[in-house]
Amino acid sequence: MAGAVAVKDRQWLPIAEIATQVNAGGLKAVDLVEQSLRTIADKAEYQAIIATLDDAARARAVAIDAQVAAGKSAGRLAGVPFIAKDNYLVFGADTTAASNILRGFQAPYQSTVINRLEAEGAICVAKANLDAFAHGGSTENSDFFTTKNPHDLTRVPGGSSGGSAAAVILDMAPFALGTDTGGSIRQPASFVGAVGFKPTYGTTSRSGVVAMASSTDVMGPLTRSVDDAALVYDVFAGPDLLDSTTIERDSAGYTDLAARDLHGVKIGVIKEYFEASLDAGVRSVIENGIAKLKAAGAEIIDVSLPSLPLALAVYYIVVPAEISSNLSRYDGQRYGYSNPDAKNLEDSYSGARGRGFGKEAKRRIMIGTYVLSSGYYDAYYKKAQTVRTKLVNEFAEAFTQVDFLVGPTAPTTAFKIGENTADPLQMYLADVMTVGPSLAGLTAIVVPTGLSDGLPVGMQLMAAQRADRALLELAKCAEELFV
């Protein structure tokens, strides 16, 4: 593949082992941070990173090493470098959400997720590229640059968390943070060969993360292994007084996973995913993965979700409506880009938003405003929410018949840069297999399953709301089977 790097062998120890060695004094946090920053610099051509937090990261590393030298534990993630998608509010660098309208914005506080990771000794070293405001599936909607796929520089890494996914596979850090509104962790995980975990809606705090669609936004990790994803999630999952939608975590936690015995486990294969326009290579890899699950003892059952073919249309009504509302705060008055030529308030509003927002943000604002407007609300938004409820009920009914659901993550492998930019509908179709679980608030994870023409394909595993631990255990088993 053009410009591809060797990505099979991971350069970092498992996260738990890194932290254990740092706490024991065998590894130094300062050395880990330097390794991470050096790798970021060496692989700058992939354009995965918007900004590095050199000074802040080095200062935290020194403090962690001093804490260990004083005989104190530095936490479960002691000295572990990580990369945050640039829609997380983090001290030490601008938070831009890859949009011109937020260039130069300094976060007044940090996100709850970042605070919880740092409380356990993790060190944020950089901010990753994304589609501006997380609107997209390729990073091509970033106002700054397009991230390249680690397996082929001519292809996208997926999106919107494409920078985070690429950074993990490029070994810039042991883990990265993404956000998943309709597939923005899972689809890039499939495109680059990472583990991408979308927890149950409400188990992760949205506080301090630039909002996209408030009813589906979920925070999650991108990693090289299921165990790493589970540990990171275990650190930041749970209720937060700053986010009223958050719910209680599993009392058993999400670590110390057992690779579960699949005998007696019922796994549903979603029929509609295989009736869609599914690439033959992707189909072959996923069917081979399903066969391995069956050979390991799982009972494979065909499952139909009749409303699933409507999920993409529902998503692109409901989500733009919420985007239209959430982006109204960017008005050029309090923070972000302000129109210097404005002669009155209306000019200030229109100038700031007209120049600051990119094409995709404007498109989604217009769609969202339209479907919420008088005369169209009942015809579009209300109907979409009705179908969403049907979809939720169909997923719930499916989980009375099976323990888990599986299917492809995306209809294709990573596509070429520029291939879909002229056709927004074609770009949206990259989400066709991930939006359903998002609309239903389910937990879902992508595990690398195989290669099609040298490009990664990941299987999407899904479970009912709050069944995150059980899903992680299934994913651990699948990970071992798919090696």
For 231-250, the pLDDT digits (tens) are 999 999 999 999 999 999 99
Mean pLDDT of the 410-420 span? 97
- Taking 60 as the threshold, does the pLDDT of residue 425 lie above it? yes
pLDDT at 6: 45
Residues 393-398 have a mean pLDDT of 98
CATH class of the domain at 15-259+444-482 = alpha beta
What integer is the mean pLDDT of 73-86? Answer: 98
pLDDT digits (tens, 9 = 90+) for 350-394: 999 999 999 999 999 999 999 999 999 999 999 999 999 999 999
Residue 408 backbone dihedrals phi, psi, to 5 degrees: -65, 165
The pLDDT of residue 276: 66
Domain residue spans in the chain?
A: 15-259+444-482
Tell me, yes or no, if 85 is annotated catalytic.
Answer: yes
Tell me, what's the pLDDT at 165? Answer: 99
Is 362 a catalytic site residue?
A: no
Predicted confidence (pLDDT) per residue in 310-321, tens digit: 999 999 999 999
The predicted pLDDT at position 372 comes to 96
| Active-site pick, 85, 127, 198, 476 | 85
- Selecting among 160, 205, 225, 324, the annotated active-site residue is 160
Predicted pLDDT of residue 457: 98
Instruction: Tell me what the pLDDT averaged over the chain comes to.
Output: 96
The reported pLDDT for the residue numbered 328 is 96
SS3 track for the chain: CCCCCCCCCCCCCCHHHHHHHHHHCCCCHHHHHHHHHHHHHHCHHHCCEEEECHHHHHHHHHHHHHHHHCCCCCCCCCCCEEEEECCECCCCCCCCCCCHHHCCCCCCCCCHHHHHHHHCCCEEEEEECCCHHHCCCCCCCCCCCCCCECCECCECCCCCCHHHHHHHHCCCCCEEEEEECCCCCHHHHHHHCCEEEECCCCCCCCCCECCCCCCCCEEEEEECCHHHHHHHHHHHCCCECCECCCCCCCCCCCCCCCCCCCCCCEEEEEHHHHHCCCCHHHHHHHHHHHHHHHHCCCEEEEECCCCHHHHHHHHHHHHHHHHHHHHHHCCCCCCCCCCCCCCCHHHHHHHHHHHHCCHHHHHHHHHHHHHHCCCCHHHHHHHHHHHHHHHHHHHHHHHHHCCEEEEECCCCCCCECCCCCCCHHHHHHHHCCCHHHHHCCCEEEEEEEEEECCEEEEEEEEECCCCHHHHHHHHHHHHHHHC
Span 123-131, average pLDDT: 98
Q: What percent of the chain is modeled with pLDDT above 70? A: 98
Mean pLDDT, residues 276-292: 95
Question: What mean pLDDT do residues 207-212 have?
Answer: 98
Provide mean pLDDT across the span 88-116.
97
Tell which wins on pLDDT, 117 or 277: 117
Quote the pLDDT of residue 8: 54
Q: What is the mean pLDDT of residues 100-107?
A: 96
Give residue 10's pLDDT. 77
Angle 275-277-278 (CA atoms, 0-180°, nearest 5)? 85
pTM for the full model? Answer: 0.96
Is residue 260 very low, low, confident or very high in pLDDT (cuts 50, 70, 90)?
confident
Residue 164 bears catalytic tag: no
